[in-house]
């Protein structure tokens, strides 16, 4: 039995059409649409470097609890680099904690959205051996030079959600 050339041509044309449509969809969603959205975006630009140092090592001073150190007391440092494309925000953050009982550093990969003055970020640790995740919800303040809001994370010692107020300044 001999295959008619029309069947082979039809199958080849169908496969080629599917590949072209898939490529066009990828080009549209990954290049053209984000470029056009960024071109039209008229909101604030939060791209850049942000920093905060929080010293809560003296939490128990004057409370009569100085004989027992608090595992949450210490100096926390947040150093964040954000890249913004219209409303989508990505970046990285290094979190360092230096206390009497423990010291550690965590590098986070950031992804989220900036909408009408508010930033919502999901933070996931880059090191999969010491998995950590957090969430940030912040408002742009001081004419674009600061972010103020909360940093919520899973406390590895108590295995509960812990939330702290955080203010970041633009470098």
Q: What residue spans define the domains of the chain?
A: 1-40, 48-170
Nearest to 77 by CA among 105, 112, 116: 105
Q: Using CA atoms, how far apart are residues 27 and 48, in angstroms rounded to an integer?
A: 27
Distances (CA, A) of 43 to 59, 115, 117, 130, 155: 39, 8, 8, 36, 35
| pLDDT (0 to 100) of residue 50 | 97
* Domain 48-170 of CATH type 2.40.128: yes
Please write the tens of the pLDDT for every residue from 69-85: 566 678 999 999 999 98
On whether the CB atoms of residues 167 and 52 are closer than 8 A, the answer is yes
Asked if pLDDT for residue 62 goes beyond 90, the answer is: no
Please write the tens of the pLDDT for every residue from 107-125: 999 999 999 999 999 999 9
Asked if pLDDT for residue 154 goes beyond 90, the answer is: no
pTM of structure: 0.73
The mean pLDDT value of the chain amounts to 87
Q: For residue 168, what are the β-bridge partners?
A: 147
């Amino acid at each position: 039995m001999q295959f008619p050339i029309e069947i082979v041509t039809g199958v080849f044309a169908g496969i080629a059409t599917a590949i072209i449509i898939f490529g066009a969809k990828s080009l549209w969603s990954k290049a053209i649409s984000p470029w056009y959205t960024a071109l039209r975006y008229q909101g604030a630009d939060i791209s850049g470097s942000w920093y905060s140092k929080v010293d809560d090592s003296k939490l128990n001073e004057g409370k009569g609890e100085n004989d027992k150190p608090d595992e949450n007391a210490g100096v926390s440092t947040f150093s964040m680099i954000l890249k913004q494309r219209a409303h989508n925000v990505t970046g990285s953050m290094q979190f360092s904690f230096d206390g009497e009982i423990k010291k550690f550093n965590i590098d986070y990969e950031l992804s989220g959205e900036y909408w009408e003055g508010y930033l919502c970020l999901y933070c996931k640790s880059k090191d999969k051996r010491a998995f950590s995740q957090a969430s940030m919800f912040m408002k742009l303040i001081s004419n674009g030079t600061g972010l103020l809001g909360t940093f919520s994370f899973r406390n590895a010692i108590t295995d509960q959600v812990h939330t702290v107020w955080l203010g970041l300044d633009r470098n």
